[in-house]
Amino acid sequence: MEQENLFEMTINGRRVKAAPGELLLHVARRAGIAIPTLCDHPAVEPFGSCRLCVVEVTRESWRGWKGIMTACLYPAAEGLVVETDSDRVRHVRRNVLDMLLARCPDSALIQRLAAEYGVTRTSFTVRDNPDLCILCGLCTRVCETAATSAISTVQRGHHREVGTPWGGPPPDCIGCLACAHVCPTGHITFQEQGLTRSIWGREFELQRCGDCGKPLPLTVDQAAFLAQRQELDPSYFARCADCQRKSVAQTMGRIAGWQRLGLVQEGEEVAS
């Protein structure tokens, strides 16, 4: 954090320093204060959809009026006074978790979080045929940032869901699994067996190591996408880590001059 332009603000009664434009969530974390989140992830832009990270904010010029804002999107400012755990904040969080529990009663994550706010059973009507999707949007956002926007949210309102074009296997998916890894509830699943990886109803072939033939943890589509998107030659995505290490060890060995000393012959085996 740059040292210039820092200003002071207050969180939970403590004076902390913050930089212009820094988001409250980060200021709080630096101060060691935990604020619960569901739809936030450092890899993507903040979204503000789960409303769990709400905090109470005020400043002197507001003459006692306190606003409820999501910490993930609200910028720090000089003289800001923030409460991360007030009654109003807890009330909103309790209701949000209660509603999510009605939506996803079987989610261990939601059950745990809801229990922290005193909700062990939802006071609302449980969804028909509930799944584990809390509509945090992390999967679609990470797909947009890190991959190909192969999935998106479909429909709106309480019919909204994360889906694929016409509900079928998404044509643009590259099988990178970023969506599955950021999903907080484990709603998105995938299978990997031998040389195949399947997700979203699509089957992908895993890239194989050019040296040893073992499958790499990337699909063929993913490797091609990365090479193009990250502007790296495709050869960077063609060999497994083991073979890379063996290759460099071989080279280093040679550079060290053992060959001259007769300790290593041309083409000798490298073992780890």
**Amino acid type, 159:** H
Residue 132 or residue 135: which is nearer to other proteins going by CB?
135
Smallest distance from other proteins to CB 60, Å: 19
Decide if residue 218 touches other proteins (CB under 8 A): yes
State the minimum distance, in angstroms, from the CB of residue 223 to other proteins: 7
Number of residues that bind other proteins (CB under 8 A): 102
* Distance from C-alpha of 216 to C-alpha of 220, rounded to nearest angstrom: 9
**Per-position x/- string for 6-35, each x denoting binding to other proteins as judged by CB under 8 A, each - no binding:** ------------------------------
Closest contact distance (angstroms) between CB of 146 and other proteins is 4
Contact predicate 11/31, CB 8 Å = yes
Q: How far is CA 44 from the centre of its chain?
A: 7
Q: Fill in the amino acid letter for 161.
A: E
Q: Determine the Cα–Cα distance for residues 93 and 123; give it in Å rounded to an integer.
A: 14
Does 62 sit near other proteins (CB under 8 A)?
A: no
Structure tokens at 216: 């790499």
Binding span for other proteins by CB under 8 A among 1-9, 10-18, 113-121, 233-241: 233-241
Among 13, 32, 42, 64, binds other proteins (CB under 8 A): 42
| Residue of the chain from 11, 27, 187, 237 that contacts other proteins (CB under 8 A) | 237
Q: 196 Cβ partners below 8 Å, 6+ apart? A: 203, 204, 205, 206
CB of 122 to other proteins, least distance (A): 9
Residues 6+ apart with CB under 8 A from 202: 169, 170, 173, 175
Q: What torsion, rounded to 10 degrees, do the Cα atoms 156, 162, 168, 170 define?
A: 120
Complex with other proteins: residue 13 or 42, whichever CB lies closer: 42
Choices 6-14, 79-87, 111-119, 137-145; region in contact with other proteins by CB under 8 A: 137-145
Binding residues among 144-203 for other proteins as defined by CB under 8 A: 144-160, 163-166, 170-172, 176-178, 181-182
Query: Which of 9, 28, 82, 103 contacts other proteins by CB under 8 A?
Result: 103
Is 125 a residue that touches other proteins (CB under 8 A)? yes
3-class secondary-structure state, position 57: strand
Tell me if 241 contacts other proteins by CB under 8 A: yes
Q: Kind and range of the H or E element at 217?
A: strand 215-219
Q: How many CB atoms lie within 10 A of CB 163?
A: 16
